[in-house]
Chain A
Amino acid sequence: MAHYDAIIIGGGHNGLVSAAVLAKAGRKVLVLERRHVLGGAAVTEEIYPGFKYSVCSYVVSLLRPEIIRELQLPRFGLEILPLDCSFLPLPDGRSLARWGDAERTRAEVSKFSARDAERASQFGHAMVRMGQLVRPILKMVPPSPGSMNPSQLLDLLQLGRRFQGLGPEGLALATKMMTMSAADFLDEWFESEALKAPMSVSGIIGTFQGVRSPGTAYVLLHHYMGEIDGAYRSWGFAKGGTGAISNAIADSARHFGAEIRTEAPIGRVRIEGGKATGVILENGDEIAANVVVSGVDPHRTFLGLVGEEHLDPDLVKRIRRFKMRGSSGKVNLALDRAPSFTCRPGDGPHIRGDIAIAPSIDYLERAYDQAKYGEFSTRPYLNVVIPSLTDPSVAPPGKHVMSCFVQYAPYRIKEGPEHWPEKREAFGDTVVDTLEEYIPDIRDIILHRQVLSPWDLEQEFGLTEGNIFHGELSLEQLFFLRPTADWSRYRTPVRHLWMCGSGTHPGGGIMGAPGWLAAREMLRAGGV
């Protein structure tokens, strides 16, 4: 029987990063992916002939530069095409385009508010300062405040000193950032809705919170911390779609000697004498390994692959209360031609970035209120990209793909999540109706429509409750509390079983940091 140093469960981008790091360190590694394609939620698929959808995740910014460097990803085909514009069409015919170039943005913003245009750069500086505070945290294995371990205590002390070093004003700003709502936080800086609304949405993406919910200002920062080649705040597409990122990481892993199998669904982690000794596939095959590393979410890892019988009931309780609560869906469209917005007709650089349907704070909050009571938003927040304008390789000549991230689509609709399949097309219609208010002929140019509800994200991609981040990014589920206080350092109560997915610190997004930190911690601790 084959024997590996490590088996990675799940060929998502974090699992692949872990595999590559371990393989590079000379370990014999096997990655097992349930689906026929690699990448998990970071995949490109040709659902409709000639059109390559970035089915789930669609933009990248958080991917850690050290991972790109160490795993030599450009050599394996990774190419990021930066997005230069964030475009906000408004129903009243106005619009706001924010550009990479600060002067150009200032001119656009000043159409709405001269004061806001002046303050934008001040705000940017404050965010960069906060980003610098948080960035080292993304690189560390979370120390537990309850630990008596000297190295963890030292980490805590250093963290404390870092906050103290901010001085009173910086500390006040950091606290505001961590605890305020995105809307309140932005209110302190800006007056114009056209600026605040599209900015505030970074605070809610992937969470079951509204822009007026306390705690969302932090997630705003999470989205500000993105960097491509060291430049703050830049977002980009991967050439060839998001799956190209996963493929580059996979090729890097293979290059370093990892073995990767697709269509290899796992039934259970094999546990003998309280230790993980390998995996049992759904077809009954058993594969032995010194360690098993789970890249799937905490619910699925503990309650599915391990099984409650191997766990302390208290841990089971903690995992059950770890909030998943998927809140978003995805609609991918194949278009006959490029769309034209009423407020700024025709082609142009403004539609080559991301396009936000987020006309006001109240609009966004109303969308959330519906979700709270178990309905999808009749006028949702949309984040739209048309990657084929920048990367023609993903659609036939002259045709386009349009990717719409849609929020809110609560997993727990009031009829029950299993009723999502009956609602799926109505949900898709809502998205098209919303788009139609800005692109009147959108219906005429749609060749194909793929609708993914949170239920579909769970069924198809194994994301529990359709949560795109493997668990909400709320304060009580971050850092040393992710996924639970005792097991936030990639270890689990089952010896030789580790975690490396987005359900661990520092969380979701195409960041690669959980996979990276987990693999390095395993190597450091002599776990593998």
Chain B
Amino acid sequence: MSEKVIVIGGGHNGLTAAATLARHGRSVVLLEKRSGLGGLAAPFEIADGYRVPGLLHDTDRFRPAVARALELHQHGLQWRETPRTELGLSAKGRGVLLSSNREAMAQELQQHSPSDVQPYHRLMTFLDSIRHIVEDLFDSPPPAPAKRELGEAIKMLKKGWAFRRLGAETMIEVLRIAPMCIADWLNEHFESAHLKALLASPALLGTWMGPWSAGSTTTWLLDELTRGRAVAGGPAALVDSLRRCAEAAGVEIRTGCPVRHLQLENGRVRGVELESGETIETASVLATTDAQTTFLELIRPADLGVEFAERIANVRSRGLVAKVHLALSGPLENTTRPGSFERMRTGEHVDDLERAFDAVKYRQISERPILDVWVPSLEDSSLAPKGHHVVSILAQFAPYDLEGGWTDAARVTLGDRVVDTLAEYAPGLKKRIVARQVLSPADLEGELGLTGGHLYHGEHALDQLAFLRPVFDCAHYRTPIEGLIVGGSSCHPGGGLTGVPGWLAAKAL
């Protein structure tokens, strides 16, 4: 059987889905709107001769299960063996050097705040005890608690049983902390304010929350417990291996090929109409665009139920992360610690994070944004001319719905605030800036077609995860439209470079 499947979107999930389908013998055509593949994981040019290897920074959440299933190592994927480190920048003092290596981390804490060493070990032990539960949830389709089917009931009981086997104490602890805010939970463990701020930060990416927002412990756990080794070469290398894998499996990849809309007949997919006017007939489409784009733009309103359309419209995807890229004529030096660091982060107190978040509630840019700084040219010198460097910054927070709109002046304000904040720790920075690029959430929407400019295709929140992501009636990849499958970050288990939504959607097909 070689029925044709159209995959819409050539981001990492689209590539994963296409490769998975093709390896299962399907004939697959992948359509990407932009001229290059990769979406948020694609290289991005800052200025002539300078580029960053992807808009998202982290590849350490790409799931080994997906890499194994696609045999990506045969297509060039290599894991980085060195532990991930990140320097918490401090205006005075040595800051904190986070490390994914526990011994290194314990030694660092011994220096930084000795009373936090034991709590750190206790926390790691706790995380280890629940890791397999989260990984299992992450790597398989979400449960369907409202479905009255024997098979589903058995699956639920199995998951429930695994959960119970954690023991009453651990199980209840998970239930207790899940709805908590990350600030409160970290306060229960640690003393160092700087350590808490650094640990709390990742909980916020892809959400619309500050560290004092309830539920941020869940998003923190999802992030932390799904991290492993990073991909050597970063997002661009990941995309390369996915592309090679897809091509090897026979996927026909067409870039620069935007879809106008899906053609439906009696609630069934019949074909895809391209912007060029060309029509491709097919009975199966796997869309990895975000839920709002897929249902509200690619499908005509008349083809969609009113209530369903309203549910999709209600999916919250308020982008509040901006990208700022810098091209530097030399290295990015910092005053916190001697040496060059590939990853650095600002925010010395949880309240710094919260204050930065406060601004977006009133549709303002944070006065002092929280910066997740990456200098990819330290790993890959080809990204900039010799001796020069590129800096990729995820800046939080800048609201999509900025008061007054995203004018050029607003972009300058955002860029200035980001540079000023970073310059507090890197006095020589400003002199070395050769080029500066500011991408507001509105720019990200325009450039990549992300609704609301949201990097995760919809906020991570307790009511927008698992069997409720993106909405309950298409959380299991199938949709009310026969022949249409969804498989982007809008689906379980959500955003970030994991490959899982595309993989699970392809398997569902």
Contacts and interface: CB of A to CB of B under 8 A. Distances in A.
Contacts of B169: 146
A168 B145 CA distance: 8
A166 B209 contact: no
Given A172-B468, A180-B462, A476-B176, 15 more contacts: A145-B172, A146-B172, A164-B145, A164-B148, A168-B144, A168-B147, A170-B146, A178-B462, A179-B214, A213-B212, A214-B462, A372-B351, A474-B180, A475-B214, A480-B172
B179 A476 contact: yes
Interface residues of A, number: 39
B319 to A, nearest CB: 16
Given A168-B472, A372-B354, A474-B179, A146 B168 contact: yes
A313 interface: no
Interface string A373-392: 10000000000000000000
B462 A179 contact: yes
Contact of A215 (B167, B179, B354): B179
Contacts of A147: 168
Interface in A313-333: 321, 323
B213 interface: yes
A146 B146 contact: no
What are the 5 A-B residue pairs with the smallest beta carbon separation, nearest first? A146-B168, A475-B179, A179-B462, A215-B214, A168-B146
B476 to A, nearest CB: 10
Contacts of B172: 144-146, 480-481, 485
Contacts of B175: 145, 481
27 contacts: A144-B168, A145-B168, A145-B175, A146-B167, A164-B145, A168-B144, A169-B472, A170-B146, A171-B146, A172-B471, A172-B472, A179-B179, A179-B461, A180-B461, A209-B214, A212-B361, A213-B213, A214-B215, A214-B462, A215-B214, A215-B215, A365-B361, A365-B362, A372-B351, A474-B214, A475-B214, A476-B178
Interface string A213-227: 111000000000000
Contacts of A168: 144, 146-147, 472-473
A323 B147 CA distance: 37
B314 interface: yes
B179 A175 contact: no
A167 B213 CA distance: 29
Given A175-B463, A175-B468, A180-B463, A145 B171 contact: yes
A92 interface: no
Given A145-B171, A369-B358, A474-B214, A171 B179 contact: no
A179 B459 CA distance: 13
* Interface residues of chain A: helix, strand, loop or mixed (majority): helix
Contacts of B273: none
B247 interface: no
A184 B209 CA distance: 12
Interface centre among B146, B167, B184 (most CB of A within 10 A): B146
Contacts of A480: 172
Interface of B: 144-148, 167-169, 171-172, 175-180, 184, 188, 209, 212-215, 314, 316, 351, 354, 358, 361-362, 461-463, 468, 471-473
Nearest to A165: B146
A176 interface: yes
A163 interface: yes
A179 B181 CA distance: 12
A214 B176 contact: no
Interface in A167-224: 167-172, 175-176, 178-180, 184, 188, 209, 212-215
A362 interface: yes
Nearest to A163: B145
Interface of A: 144-147, 163-164, 166-172, 175-176, 178-180, 184, 188, 209, 212-215, 321, 323, 362, 365-366, 369, 372-373, 474-476, 480-481, 485
A372 B361 CA distance: 14
Contacts of A169: 472
Nearest to B314: A188
Contacts of B171: 145-146
A163 to B, nearest CB: 7
A362 B184 contact: no
A480 B168 CA distance: 13
Given A146-B169, A163-B145, A214-B214, A171 B472 contact: yes
Contacts of A212: 361
B467 to A, nearest CB: 8
Contacts of A146: 167-169, 171-172
A476 B461 contact: no
Contacts of A145: 168, 171-172, 175
A191 to B, nearest CB: 13
B462 A175 contact: yes
A205 B126 CA distance: 34
Interface centre among B167, B358, B461, B463 (most CB of A within 10 A): B463
B216 to A, nearest CB: 8
A451 B467 CA distance: 48
Contacts of A171: 145-146, 472
A481 B461 CA distance: 22
Contacts of B471: 172
Nearest to B163: A145
B351 to A, nearest CB: 7
A373 B351 contact: yes
A481 B177 CA distance: 11
B137 to A, nearest CB: 16
A372 B212 contact: yes
B361 A321 contact: no
Contacts of A373: 351
A156 to B, nearest CB: 10
A214 B209 contact: yes
B180 A476 contact: yes
A429 B465 CA distance: 45
A373 B176 CA distance: 25
Nearest to B144: A168
Nearest to B175: A145
Nearest to A147: B168
Nearest to B179: A475
Contacts of A180: 461-463
A214 B213 contact: yes
Contacts of B148: 164
Contacts of A476: 176-180
Contacts of B354: 372
B146 A164 contact: yes
Contacts of A175: 462-463, 468
Contacts of A188: 314
